[in-house]
Amino acid sequence: MIVAIGLGPVGVIPPTALRIIGHHTIGVPEVMSWARTDDAIIWEVRLPRVLLGAIVGTALGVAGVTLQALVRNPLAEPYILGVSSGGSTGAAAAILFGVGSGLGPESVSLMAFLGALGALALVLALARSTGRITPSRMIVAGVAVGYLLSATTSLLILFADSAEGARAVMFWLLGSLANADWSTLPIGYLGMGAGMVLVYWWRRRLDLLALGDETAMASGVDPGRTRMVLVVVVALCVGFAVSLSGGIGFVGLAAPHIARRIVGPIHRHLVPASAALGAIILVWADVAARMVLQPRELPIGVVTGVLGAPVLVALVRKLPHNN
């Protein structure tokens, strides 16, 4: 992480980066022996950015692994719930039409979070229309809501008729950690952290749900209620992630797959491993995003997509044929 903090268009060697962080957090060393610009780059820009990447990556990894167990499909990923599309619609409305500008300086993030919540409410209402939530109903509801909201976002872009606005929305859609700052980090850590603690708390329920609803029920787990709670928790985590960094793809799909190959399918190991891998992937994808075309910055979603797709194809090719 320290290395990742140092890397960027302006490089800062790890020992200096460490000293800067030490200076700001525990007051050691007391005296600044480095350039003021390095200080600003590390403390104001890079560190929040890496910290945001770590928590968002963790949340996407955990959300992915949870949803894969809940819908019993290895291709499930955090965005099948339609939450990210909701976030995009909210953000597009804020960027293009200034909706919610009264909400303060973070209005885009707040609108994205509200959009994500709206999408979640819609998905739950549709998925529950005839009683309990089943995996297939959840997927269909998520996909339907996702399409509806993506179409809405496109319409907003068309109606706004602003090339600059469209570019801003596009950059947001592809995801970026560039908006990280100290004011939003605590709420992100708190929100996503709490959600992930619950997922880990219920790790064995995930094992049982992955085995089938009847098996889960016979083992003392109420599948309907467990799925409902976990969907809401995971969707909130993804809502936080999307509102702080846009729709970063592939991490939530690839991290659980790689983790499964390393530690196996039991969620006691799989949840922490997916979390760690999600964080590592996202932090380093962000390093690539700011290094590859420097001084220009790539949207991080482009990097995760370009790197993630071949990794995923390679993983799927290695799956046993009877799976």
Partner 1 sequence: MIAATGIDLRLGASDVLSGARLCTRPGQVVGLIGPNGSGKSSLLRCLYGMLRPNRGAVLIDDKAIESMSQRSIARAIAVVAQDASADGIDITVGEFVLLGRHVHRGDHEGFTDDDCKVALDGLEMVDLSGFAERHLHEMSGGERQRVMIARCIAQQSPVILLDEPTNHLDVRYQHEVLTLVRQLKNDTIVVLHDLNLAGRYCDHLALLDRGRVVHQGQPDDVLRSDVLEPVYGIEVRRLADGQHPHLAFGPLTR
Would you tell me which residues interact with partner 1 (CB under 8 A)?
A: 69, 72, 201-202, 204-205, 207-208, 210-215, 217-222, 260, 264-266, 268, 320, 322-323
Spatial contact of 192 and 59, defined as CB atoms under 8 Å apart: yes
Q: How many CA atoms lie within 13 A of 310 on its CB side?
A: 3
Closest residue by Cα to residue 43 from 313, 34, 289? 34
Please report how close the Cβ of residue 124 comes to partner 1 at its closest, in angstroms: 21
Please report how close the Cβ of residue 139 comes to partner 1 at its closest, in angstroms: 14
Residue closer to partner 1 by CB (options 132, 306) is 132
Residue closer to partner 1 by CB (options 14, 224) is 224
User: What is the DSSP track for 173-241?
Assistant: HH--STT--TTTHHHHHHHHHHHHHHHHHTHHHHHHHHH-HHHHHHTT--HHHHHHHHHHHHHHHHHHH
Residue closer to partner 1 by CB (options 169, 228) is 228
Residue closer to partner 1 by CB (options 260, 290) is 260
Q: Write out the H or E segment, with its range, that includes residue 284.
A: helix 267-291
Q: In the chain, what are the helix, strand and coil shares in percent, each to the nearest 5?
A: 75, 0, 25
Supply the DSSP symbol for 76.
-
Please report how close the Cβ of residue 210 comes to partner 1 at its closest, in angstroms: 4
Please report how close the Cβ of residue 228 comes to partner 1 at its closest, in angstroms: 14
List all residues 6 or more positions away from 305 whose beta carbon is below 8 Å from its beta carbon: 249, 250
Residue closer to partner 1 by CB (options 313, 319) is 319
Please report how close the Cβ of residue 140 comes to partner 1 at its closest, in angstroms: 19
Residue closer to partner 1 by CB (options 181, 222) is 222
Closest residue by Cα to residue 289 from 272, 307, 277, 314? 307
Please report how close the Cβ of residue 161 comes to partner 1 at its closest, in angstroms: 48
Residue closer to partner 1 by CB (options 220, 310) is 220
Query: What is d(CA 96, CA 172) in angstroms, rounded to the nearest whole number?
Result: 12
Spatial contact of 98 and 71, defined as CB atoms under 8 Å apart: no
Please report how close the Cβ of residue 314 comes to partner 1 at its closest, in angstroms: 18
